[in-house]
Amino acid sequence: MKTTIQVPVRGLVHPRDRKKRTFSGAYRHRIDRVLISSTWIRRRVRELARQLVGDLRLRRSSELELVVVLKGGAVFANALAREICRLGGPPVIFNYITASSYGSRTVSSGTVRIAGQIPFVRNKDILIVEDIADTGLTLARLKEYLLTERRAASVRICALLDKPSRRKRALKNRLALDYVGFRIPDIFVAGYGSDCAEHLRELPFIVAVKRRGVK
Ligand code: IMP
């Protein structure tokens, strides 16, 4: 099984999704191009679910406890959980947390805010589900928080997208992503739960955002 899929700058569009797509006015000024089409995402989510179910069986886990990072991780986590269920995997428990180093702008603020109802995770094996690993600050801080402050037994990370070229140098070898959907170039993206200033989360695919569509 692939550990990840490298997405070229021009994008990864499945032949089935190749028909010319035109975006209506509300979208046209924000979207540059489709970066990862929906068939690719569906297939990759299925692969990740298969990998997770295999690992959970090896660990003899009776449940999968998720900590979903809002808002970006919600769509991905839902799709992943449905696939796990379809594959006959263990029950999935959803916890939600808000943790982000972004405000509504597209540059990392450098500090990570953790908010929301803090899940009870003491002595549990946790899987963090996030849309994008960028500098890595959010995931590193969240993992540390769940392990040291909330006393989780173990914390693994599942990110749909990874931008390794953006990773903070100090985290390059320290932050392990256990499950990654796609490795993407340093491009600002949206769709499939990820936003551009709260827009475009509803798209069933991932798009590269037009620079002037970025606030
Ligand atoms: P990090 O802490 O720098 O790794 O940033 C991760 C957070 O920033 C995630 O919660 C993402 O939702 C958000 N983020 C990073 N890159 C993008 C992007 O290209 N589009 C939308 N959100 C992004």
Known active-site residue 162: no
State how far the Cα of 163 lies from the Cα of 6, in Å rounded to an integer: 10
pLDDT recorded at residue 147: 95
pLDDT recorded at residue 213: 46
pLDDT recorded at residue 215: 44
State how far the Cα of 160 lies from the Cα of 32, in Å rounded to an integer: 20
188 ligand 1 Cβ < 6 A: yes
What is the residue with the minimal CA distance to atom 5 of ligand 1?
134
136 ligand 1 Cβ < 6 A: yes
Q: How many CA atoms lie within 13 A of 164 on its CB side?
A: 14
76 ligand 1 Cβ < 6 A: no
pLDDT recorded at residue 1: 64
Which of ligand 1's atoms lies nearest the C-alpha of 99? 10
Question: Which residues is 130 bridged to in the sheet?
Answer: 159
Question: Helix, strand, or coil here: 191?
Answer: strand
Taking CA atoms, 145 is separated from 50, 74, 112, 139, in Å, by: 28, 20, 11, 10
The pLDDT profile of the chain, 215 residues, written as one tens digit per residue, is: 678 999 999 999 999 898 777 788 888 889 999 999 999 999 999 999 999 999 999 999 999 999 999 999 999 999 999 999 999 999 999 999 998 675 545 555 568 888 877 778 999 999 999 999 999 999 999 999 999 999 999 999 999 999 999 999 989 888 999 999 999 999 999 999 999 999 999 999 999 999 764 54
Distance 188 CA to ligand 1 centre (A): 9
157 ligand 1 Cβ < 6 A: no
